[in-house]
Amino acid sequence: MSHSSEDGGKEGRGKCELSLTVNGKPETVRVFPMERLLDVLRQELGLTGTKEGCGEGECGSCSVLMNGELVNSCLVPVLQAAGATLTTIEGIAEGPQLSALQAAFLECGGAQCGICTPGMILGACHLLNKKPEPTLEDIREGLSGNLCRCTGYVQIFEAVEQAARRRASA
């Protein structure tokens, strides 16, 4: 990681170059260290599937996986993601095939306006990675940091249950 003064003016405040792996692909970006991971994903890497809702860690719309852990990308200064492995909604499908979770969200009506959906899918993905056979209570708690103003949540919980059942029987 190298700092330069040409972009930021004062020494140490300039942009730095850092590497991360996003959806399996190595990337190098030239950014200010305090830029939000959310903005780097959307603006530098063009991965606009990750949404900004509240911008203060309350709504979960910007959820991504960082080294396998669910985080709100609006609260991660990008320097802290240097060297990390990230998964965004763009990395969830298995090639051209929707993942079991994505298919279940469609079938159950778990997505309406769509703003919360990428975060919901990442939250559900994190949950199923940790607990492949979650109870309804586990699902409610696993997604308690993801707000949805359309569905009333029931269809979302059903989608996660369905995806878990399919994964178990696959």
Partner 1 sequence: MRSDPADYELIAPGNLQAVVSLLADQPGKWLPIAGGTDVMVLYAAGKLPARKLVSIWNLPELRGIEISPEEIRIGAGCTYSELREHDIIAGEFPLLASAARWTGGIANQNRGTLGGNIVNASPAADSLPALLVYEAELILVSGRGERRVPYLDFHTGYKKMKLAPDELIRAICLGRRFSNYLHYARKVGAREAQALSKVCVAALGRLRGGATGDVIDDVRIALGSVAPVPLRLTEVERIVKGKPIEPELVQLTRKMTTAAMQPIDDIRSTARYRSAVAGNLVAEFLEQLRSSRKTV
What is the smallest separation between the CB atom of 29 and partner 1, expressed in angstroms? 13
C-alpha closest to that of 34 among 12, 5, 57, 59: 12
Q: Residue 144: how many CB atoms within 10 A of its CB?
A: 11
> Is 2 one of the binding residues for partner 1 (CB under 8 A)?
no
C-alpha closest to that of 154 among 109, 112, 115: 109
Q: Measured between alpha carbons, how far is 26 from 24 in angstroms, rounded to an integer?
A: 7
DSSP 43: I
What is the smallest separation between the CB atom of 90 and partner 1, expressed in angstroms? 18
> Is 51 one of the binding residues for partner 1 (CB under 8 A)?
no
Applying CB under 8 A, the span of 22-30, 72-80, 90-98, 159-167 interacting with partner 1 comes to 72-80
Binds partner 1 (CB under 8 A): choice among 20, 22, 36, 121: 36
C-alpha closest to that of 115 among 57, 53, 157: 53
String of contacts with partner 1 for each residue 82-101, x by CB under 8 A? x-------------------
Our CA dihedral for 75, 50, 43, 16, rounded to 10 degrees, sits at 40
Smaller CB separation from partner 1, 2 or 169: 2
Site for partner 1, rule CB under 8 A: 7-10, 12-13, 31-36, 55-58, 60, 63, 69-72, 74-77, 79-80, 82, 123, 126-127, 141-142, 144-147
